[in-house]
Amino acid sequence: MGNVGISFGSPTSGQGFDVTSTVSQIVANLQAIETPWQNQLTSLQSQDTAFTSIGNDLSTLSSALSSLNDVDGIFSQMEGSSSDTSVVQLTDATVGAVAGTYTVVVGQLAQNYSYASTSISSSDTLSGSLVIGGQTITLSDGTATDSSGNTIPQNDTLSTLASYINAGDYGVTATVVPGASGSQLALLSDTSGASGAVTIDASDLTDSTTGDAITFSQQQQGQDASFSVDGVSMTSSSNTVTTGIPDVTMQLLSAAPSESVQVEIATDNSDVESAVSSFVSAYNTVMDDINTQEGDDASGNPEPLYGNPDMAMVQEQLQESISFLAPSGSVTSLSQLGITTNDDGTLSLDATTLDSALDGNYGAVVNFFQGPGSFGANLTTALSNLGSSGPDGVIYLALQQNSGTESQLSTNISNEQSSISEQQSQLTTELNEANYTLEEIPTQIDEVNELYSAITGYNENPNG
């Protein structure tokens, strides 16, 4: 702390001194103790800004990576097409599907068993019992009951009976179909294909209004779909087929035994290449920001994180993760995907090499990014350990440490400023009093002189 000299001038001049300027000089010297604290606080806040920026970069990189190592992400679907979508339509093709062109011939579609009652008036009530798949529904006195004793508190019309059947578990779906000679109760088996037959026994079911017996007849024979894939004959109880081409779901829409439908399965290279490009770009943003911290700013001063050990750790672990070699599989490194490391640590992507890798062994590329021990899993762990998320992220811990130091510095500065403010107030009062005394000295001298003259008769001013 420097010294402040107070110039009082001539003590008999009566001019005093500049109190405000003098107090300001003293306060400025007192405030000098805050300067190292303030400089350290500013430096830490600059570090926080840089740390936060790089933390955000790592978060963006993690998001870009997640689209590649998420089993339900970009790799989960493949492209597929059908030469005749009125016969065969593709609904799903997962990563396990083998790319290629397949010939599909649909001989017949699968269909459900269906049954229909004789026609009665829709308003007629029913009595007796109806057995569906071994379960008995007994109708009497306007109330429907099943073999478990459950009832419907309504009149037993065809509509009421259909609602009751659909609310239960009878293996069929019931519909009231109006016709010219009355309404019919239609029953459609819930099980598609040849194995979906349902026993219907209406021998004790009667139209109470007319007294006529109600009977059921089979309207449609259930059957399995028959089709072939590349000449191999197959059957399916459903028209949604998952067994024809592994990991491919097809919908059979119409029978066309004389038509060969070409189904093509292909890798979705464009979306994967876009995701890989985004990953490379996100990684380069991280490295560019880290590289910036290794130099000087525009004014020639070191960047906030220059020489920071936490930044060195982040850089080292990222570079180790990028150089990771998968322990198994035909794709074990990024270089096989056209991704190489530049001298400054950033990455370059050769799209042609990547496209060839996807065409040559799509599954191997998927395995490189996904699953235990993969490149994607290893880098995901590294990013979690480096980022700004608690409780163990390197950047998170660095920010927490800075925050503690910043809090103490702010407290010190605040306390010092309070002390200086009190001293400033006290100095101002004391110096104002001293200045007033100096300004009064000439008047006091004059008073003494006048008193002396009065006592001695001496006149200091004989011409007066």
Residue the block writes with tokens 């605040």: 414
CA-wise closest residue to 283 among 358, 397, 386, 394: 386
Could you identify the residue written with the tokens 């087929």?
241
257 class by beta-carbon count within 10 Å (0-12 exposed, 13-18 middle, 19+ buried): exposed
Residue 153, CA distances (Å) to 124, 138, 142, 164, 206 in order: 16, 13, 8, 11, 19
Closest CA to 108 of 172, 194, 230: 194
Name the token pair of 276: 């890989």
In order, the DSSP letters of 235-261 are EESSSEESSSSTTEEEEE-S-EEEEEE
Q: Tell me what pLDDT residue 454 has.
A: 72
**pLDDT tens, position by position, 53-68:** 999 999 999 999 999 9
Question: Closest Cα to residue 178, out of 206, 201, 158?
Answer: 158
- Cα angle vertex 147, ends 143, 149, to 5°? 55
What whole-number distance in Å separates Cα of residue 6 and Cα of residue 16? 11
Integer Cα distance of 142 and 345 in angstroms: 84
Element (H, E) at 341: strand 339-341
Every domain of the chain and the residues it spans: 41-72+269-398, 78-109+224-266, 112-220
Q: Inform me whether the pLDDT recorded for 280 exceeds 70.
A: yes
- Contact status, residue 163 vs residue 156, Cβ threshold 8 Å: no
Higher pLDDT, 32 or 235: 235
Of 15-19, 146-150, 318-322, 423-427, least confident by mean pLDDT is 146-150
Question: Confidence class of residue 2 from pLDDT cuts 50, 70 and 90?
Answer: very low
Supply the pLDDT for residue 436: 76
Q: Residue 360's Cα: distance from chain center in Å? A: 32
Confidence of residue 106 (pLDDT cuts 50, 70, 90): very high
Share of the chain above pLDDT 70, in %: 91
Start-to-end CA span in the chain (Å): 54
pLDDT (tens digit per residue) in 304-347: 999 899 999 999 999 999 999 999 889 999 999 999 999 999 99
Q: Where are the beta strands (DSSP E) in 159-298?
A: 172-179, 182-192, 200-207, 216-220, 225-229, 232-236, 240-241, 248-252, 256-266
Averaged pLDDT, 219-243: 96
pLDDT band at 421 (very low <50, low <70, confident <90, very high): confident
SS3 assignment, position 100 = strand
Mean pLDDT (the chain, rounded) = 87
Q: For the residues 37-41, what does the mean pLDDT come to?
A: 83
